[in-house]
Structure 1
């Protein structure tokens, strides 16, 4: 896995290089302190992976990616700031590591890169630059979720349920239930309707997680989501849409 480290702080580059010694598959082929140094290296060395800082003198990390011609490597952002996370996933970053980088989180990021390089189509990819910041998000997109001091970079396909909690939305994935400051209506506008269905006023469900469907009161439906005890009512009005969508 040919890897470039791009960070204007020498100590940060050294620390990341030290941590990456724990991963024999990672071959660090170079370092750069800014975009001007990095771009010719990317062109000449054709790395598989960039560990990329965001705030740097001159072009920032996002502007660097926009300047790459041809195939863009996989990207793991490394930064001391969490406010760039939403923009980071719009650039199809595989992960977003906050400094100081934790070895366990770095291990998760490396595993994610290995999975992408093994099963993805990196050689045919166009640059990781958002063509439309309002694009629909599907099951293979990853989102940054922050609730208090906890952070996740989760693939949307793992989220089985979104629940409105006033001005917040609760996400259900694995055994986690973080809250994000967003309305359910705004979230619905971003989600691919082929995968995510507005069941009622309070819930959006991931159709791929439905385990069982039962008739319910007043022409509605009751769905059970697999891997959990979540039972969600599909309102009568939405049940009509649901049947139209799911019927042959």
Structure 2
């Protein structure tokens, strides 16, 4: 067989190169559609028996080798040329506990938008029910409001059988235990919730879940609270000066002719020049409820609600506006 001339060899190589480029261009166009089904035909690809490999007799790198070298569904789910950082999606079973339904709704929307790996298994407005649900469900993460009627967030944590879960407290700047939360390295976010703060808190919670050190941190927090727990106080100006009163000892605030009368658990009262609106602002993050334009009651001192809308307190009673009754029941029950 005669040896081919150099010019013929060059022409053949040039033609081969054009064919190679044409096939590569075709593959580039077909590849996005082809990769949608790559998981179904991975066996044939690895064996080099793909129909695309038989398009030409030109000596080419097998398509299966090229795909295994270039395409990785974890780093590039669509186009092989893109390098996308990928982290394994771990489902985080989550519970939200807050006595305000609107607060739960807002937080839930943010979590669903920002964290697809978070699975909200339950939301609760009643702290007593939350204890039972947490014990039964054993979640990975709990968002816990600090200030709730009857039991606060720390009381709930203390009564859980085994607090072996990550917790993010939803708190206010004025919460008395904020320093204890920081000291115990527990996550917290401040109302109104900022997206960046939420992202940071959840990111840290995910690290703690993986490190499995949630139980130790929670027990450390409870120890700190046991040593430093004091009831938050409020400064009440009166004719004789300023009185510092534990909020737990206040049954209600009642507006009287532009002044405010404060009723205490020892059956005494104080008269302050502050308006009822001023006190409502001062205790907005505590367990008080504006049941009427003239009355602000401590939810922890409510004994009952009559059919005609009268709130029975440990000492005395006050009316509850019709448009406030359902909200009151939601805060307590």
TM-score in terms of structure 1 length: 0.49
TM-score in terms of structure 2 length: 0.37
Structure with the bigger percentage of helix: 2
Structure with the bigger percentage of strand: 1
